[in-house]
Structure 1
Amino acid sequence: MPYDLKEIAAISGMPGLYRLVKPTRAGVIIESLDAKAARSVASARNKVSLLQEISIYTQDYDQTVPLTEVFDRIHLKYGTELMVTPKSEDRDLSAFMGEIIPDYDRERVYMSDIKKLVQWYQAVSSTLEYQAPATDTEEAATAPAEEVEAPTAATTDEAPTKKSKVKKKADDTTADQE
């Protein structure tokens, strides 16, 4: 996952994006993703939408593209500097969206959604660090290290478990009764 969007949310009635810091009884403590990083409390009345759970509609009615994948595509193509802004002309924004997701559903994805996508990407890319996805060679290199750390049969036989101790005591009590 290129950007970690697990704790980043859009909150209804509040402009911008926020990092969820800690839940409270009345809502959640949030921190703005701008330069101020101001903390406040979002009440339970506000609708909190995690960016990780948002997707973009495609022409295939049953398929969507997760926002994390959309951000990854944007970063691979443009980096952190986009050629469009939320105030760009509609045809430029549509062309931008068509480059990122060629088969996006033009009837269900509104221009306001594309503007919001651009705004969110700019906020996320300026605040969070991009983490390159792991390649197959990196995963193969880490696999043997994980196997070495796994417990062997010899180590599990040396240390009796609580269950075996309890069974021994139960066997001893039955031997005493006979």
Structure 2
Amino acid sequence: MPYDLKELAAISGQSGLYRLVRPARHGVLVETLDAKATRSLAPASNKVSLLSEIGIYAQDSDDTLPLTDVFERIYQKYGASLPVSGKSSEAELTGFLAEVMPEYDRQRVYLSDIKKLTNWYTIVSQHLPYQPTQAEAAPATDEPLSTGGVIGEADPAATPTGNPEVTQEKAPAAKKSAKKPD
């Protein structure tokens, strides 16, 4: 997962994104996702939508692509900076989403949804570190990461059998049993 969206939320009636801090008696304590990191109470009357539970409609009527996957696609194509913003033209925004997610449902995904997507991605990419998936973090070569177990073939006549680090001269003497025979 490129960005950890589990604790991030959008709150109805409020602009921007918020980090969930903890539940409170009459709502949820949230922190703005900006440089100020202002804490406030989101009342229970407001709808709090976790970004990890939001998806974009696909052409298949029952299918949605989770926002984390859409963010991953955007990052793979554009990195942390987008070629569009929420103020771009309708053609630019729909073209952008069609490049990132060609299978999106053009009937159910509105222009306002695409604007939110670009604004949210911009906020998240500025304030959260990108975490590469395991496949991206692994080295691309077949070289071993350590020499453990990758010791080259040695001349069998040159080394004694058993532990090659222990020579015959340094071999420890056999311990005598401390137990006395009856």
Partner of 1:102, secondary structure, is coil
Alignment partners' CA distance in 2, 1:126 and 1:103: 27
Partner deviation per Cα, 1:40-65 (whole Å, 9 max, x = no partner) = 01011110000000000011111110
How big is the shift at 1:16?
0.5
Deviation at 1:13, TM superposition (A): 1.0
Q: How big is the shift at 1:36?
A: 1.3
The structure 1 segments of at least 4 consecutive aligned residues displaced by more than 6 Å after TM superposition are none
Identity in percent: 60
Unmatched segments (≥5 aa) in structure 2: 139-144, 146-182
Residue 97 of structure 1 is matched in structure 2 by 97
| Number of the residue aligned with 1:160 | none
Aligned mates of 2:136, 2:35 — CA distance in 1: 36
Taking a change above 3 Å as real, the CA distance of residues 32 and 135 of structure 1, as seen in their structure-2 partners, is: same
Return the alpha-carbon distance in structure 2 between the equivalents of residues 51 and 107 of structure 1: 22
Query: Which residues in structure 2 correspond to 1:98-137 (within 5 Å)?
Result: 98-135=98-135
How do 1:1-178 and structure 2 match up within 5 A? 1-135=1-135, 138=138
Distance in 2 (CA, whole Å) between partners of 1:13 and 1:86 is: 18
Give the number of aligned pairs. Answer: 139
In structure 1, stretches of 5+ residues that fail to align are 142-178
- 2-side partners of 1:34 and 1:88: how far apart? 22
Tell me the amino acid that sits aligned with residue 72 of structure 1. E
Residues in 2 aligned to 1:73 and 1:9: alpha-carbon distance in whole angstroms: 20
Which letter does structure 1 place at the counterpart of 2:115? K
- Superposed displacement of residue 10, structure 1: 0.2
* Higher fraction of helix: 1
Distance in 2, Cα, partners of 1:2 & 1:89: 28
Q: What's the secondary structure of 1:83's corresponding residue?
A: coil
Shift of 1:111: 0.2
In the superposition, the TM-score normalised over structure 2's length comes to 0.74
C-alpha distance in 2, partners of 1:33/1:104? 28
Q: Give the aligned residue type for 1:111.
A: L
Give deviations 1:143-175, integer Å, cap 9, x for gaps: xxxxxxxxxxxxxxxxxxxxxxxxxxxxxxxxx
Quote how far apart the aligned CAs of 1:137 are.
8.8
Residue type of the alignment partner of 1:49: S
CA distance in 1, matches of 2:121, 2:102: 18
Which residue type is aligned with residue 109 of structure 1? Answer: V
User: What is the TM-score when the length of structure 1 is the normalising length?
Assistant: 0.76
SS at 2:45 equivalent? coil
**Kindly tell me: are residues 105 and 135 of structure 1, through their superposed partners in 2, closer, same or farther at Cα, counting changes over 3 Å?**
same
